[in-house]
A = this chain, B = another copy of it.
Amino acid sequence: EILAAVEALLAPGAGPLAGRHAIVTSGPTHEAIDPVRYIANRSSGRQGHAIAAALAALGARVTLVSGPVALPDPPGVAVRRVESAREMLAACEAALPADVAVCAAAVADWRVAAAAGQKLKKVPGQAPPPLALALNPDILATLSAHPRRPRLVVGFAAETEEVVANAIAKRARKGCDWIVANDVSGDVMGGRENAVHLVTAQGVEHWPRLPKEEVARRLAERIAAALA
């Protein structure tokens, strides 16, 4: 896909997504407990970054809103780096309008209710106080109900059980168009391959286990067809 991205760079007006703007979220978010501790979701960002690259390869202008990852920036993509879910939402809203939003980040559902400004001290022999949590904003639901809603909003669902049933319910609950669902009870997070189910208004497609780059390429082509 590097070659394709280079081609897209060389011919920015070309490709089925030329003239389209895509927002892609990727990676985890980090929610501070104090200056040294945080809560996070497991996510390498590989799938989201691959989707950003695949959309750019089809000619889209891509804004990639990425949590902390150890990946290089995909070529030809504008990267906005964020830490927390609230920063990620703000960066997505700042990037609107867009034709499509793909929310592939593993956003932390919860943040710490009151992050400490100084490092919390361990008191020897004493159990730590429980950590009060607060609900984070729901980026997928917010973009799906946004006054400047992208025409196509795609969410991801990482499930450990009842993968497809949970994904169908999630699609309805969030108000998005498609859900890409995967079973993370194995070794998907951080791995190189992914077996996903694409849940749309038309039903459920089961895709074979594929390299994440190939999942991204197929999804980008489906997005191009939907926006055509």
Q: Which residues of A come within 8 Å of B, CB atoms?
A: 33, 35-42, 70, 106, 108-110, 118-119, 122, 124, 126-135, 158-161, 173, 184-185, 189
Of the A-B pairs whose beta carbons lie under 8 Å apart in the complex, a sample of 20, sorted by A's number, is A35-B160, A35-B185, A36-B41, A36-B184, A37-B41, A39-B40, A40-B40, A109-B122, A110-B122, A118-B161, A119-B158, A119-B160, A122-B135, A124-B173, A127-B133, A128-B135, A129-B133, A130-B130, A130-B132, A131-B133
Known contacts A109-B122, A127-B135, A173-B124; A189/B36 CB under 8 A: yes
CA distance A49 to B38 in the complex (A): 22
Contacts of A38 in B (CB 8 A): 39-42
- Bound Cα distance A106, B135 (Å): 27
> What B residues does A129 contact at CB under 8 A?
133
User: In whole angstroms, how far apart are the Cα atoms of A160 and B41 in the complex?
Assistant: 25
Across the A-B interface, the 9 shortest Cβ-Cβ residue pairs: A70-B70, A130-B130, A131-B131, A128-B133, A109-B122, A119-B160, A110-B128, A130-B132, A118-B160
Q: How far is the CB of A150 from chain B (nearest CB, A)?
A: 22
Given the complex, which residues of B lie within 8 Å of A135, measured CB to CB? 122, 126-128
Contact present for B36 and A37 (CB under 8 Å):
no
Contacts of A41 in B (CB 8 A): 36-38
Give Cα distance in the complex from A133 to B127, angstroms. Answer: 7
Q: Is the interface of A mostly helix, strand, loop or mixed?
A: loop
Q: Compute how far the CA of A126 lies from the CA of B37 in the bound complex, rounded to whole angstroms.
A: 25
Least CB distance from A208 to B in Å reads 23
Closest Cβ neighbor of A117 among chain B residues: B160
- A160 surroundings in chain B (CB, below 8 A): 35-36, 118-119
Which residues of B sit under 8 angstroms from A134, Cβ to Cβ? 127-128
CB distance from A171 to the nearest CB of B (A): 14
| Given A39-B33, A130-B130: A119 in contact with B173 (beta carbons within 8 A) | no
Known: A70-B70, A122-B135, A135-B122. A36 touches B127 (CB 8 A): no
Which residue among A37, A38, A108, A130 has the maximum number of chain B CB atoms within 10 Å of its CB? Answer: A37
